[in-house]
Amino acid sequence: DPTQSHPYSVLGAAALSSRQVAEAEAAFRKAVALDPASARAQVALGYYFWSTRRIQEAEATFRQALQLDPTSELVNRILATLMLLTNRVPDAEPYLQALARLQPTTHGLTLADYYLAQHRQADSERVLRSLAADGTIATQVSPASVGNVTA
């Protein structure tokens, strides 16, 4: 069906894996044009940009996807990773915070680790206390033990 975006994303992925870069970009752009409100289509186009080392375009596209779906764990994770890989560590924080809100069990400890790496022990302890208080982490991992970790 030429009015659905997902098949074009699939075609784009196939073209990209065959190193048909121009065809891949055209297919990903067609997917977005058919459904500009689709975060999924934006993510596919963003991955294309990332894989072709067009990092600024990838970031803009992923930010658009996040505007379309602010609670997307995938897009927040992608943007956090992109910030870290491009040495913009402080810019990763809002995405790491969003991930911790969305999936405390999975991402809360990552946020606490991030704070420790940034020499923000009080913030790390706050996150760990919150995770311990709601039972997300076992009480054997106490916030007091954070002071024993050296970064």
N- to C-terminal Cα separation, the chain: 54
pTM over 0.95: no
SS (HEC) of 24-88? HHHHHHHHHHHCCCCHHHHHHHHHHHHHCCCHHHHHHHHHHHHHHCCCCHHHHHHHHHHHHHCCC
Mean pLDDT computed over every residue of the chain: 90
pLDDT tens profile 109-123? 999 999 999 999 999
pLDDT digits (tens, 9 = 90+) for 26-57: 999 999 999 999 999 999 999 999 999 999 99
The C-alpha R_g of the chain, in whole angstroms, comes to 19
